[in-house]
Amino acid sequence: MKRLLAVCVGLLLLGACSSEPVKTEPAKPKVKDPEYDTGRVALQRLYAHARAWQIDAQPYRLESQFTQDWKGKDGKSGQWRGGFASAASKGMKPFVWVGSNAPDAGERGINPLPEDNYNPGNASNHVFDMAFVKVDSEQALATALKHGGDRLMTADANQPVLYVLEWYAPKNAVVWHVIFGESRDGAKLTVMVDASTGDFMRVEK
């Protein structure tokens, strides 16, 4: 009886040793949900990275960028590009924040782009203080809707909207350009809004 039991145990062990190990599929990385943020939120994120590049870096422009999944709805975007300049280093450098998962979007997170020379005398790259930006892109959109934008949005609920933040020399102010259309040049309507007060300034187009 003992011999028979030993033989059985031996056969079981032999079978266990000869069997192939169970293969397990590697876990797939979890895809983060897309993020769509307002301009002021994106600018603050980009500003932190710009200051790590140059301690005196200041913004001169912020602009939303379309992705396949988001066209500027609610004053938000899944991709924002900010331009920053440093007087000390005489350089300027763009940074892009990406929250979208769309195929045409960049890599998620903050992406620095190549540095270029900075000329403080160039009006198109006039830097501004972050403290002047008290009004966010969603508030700028609300103002623009009251001055012609609502008509376009009623006609087309998927009307694309771009947002550009920059210095406006004639008024010595930081302004939002709320652009209804696929591009700044081909806009159906562009409304300028004061980025410090939220006040309507003018219809540009």
Domain ranges of the chain: 37-203
Q: Sign of torsion, CA 114 76 86 110?
A: negative
Residue 112: burial class (beta carbons within 10 Å; 0-12, 13-18, 19+)? middle
Q: What is the pLDDT of residue 32?
A: 85
Q: Where are the beta strands (DSSP E) in 9-90?
A: 37-38, 58-64, 76-77, 79-86
Ranking 22-36, 56-70, 105-119 by mean pLDDT, the lowest is 22-36
pLDDT for 11 beyond 70: no
Q: What is the mean pLDDT of residues 25-40?
A: 82
Write down the mean pLDDT value for the chain: 89
What global pTM score does this model have?
0.85
Instruction: Check residue 28 and give its pLDDT.
Output: 61
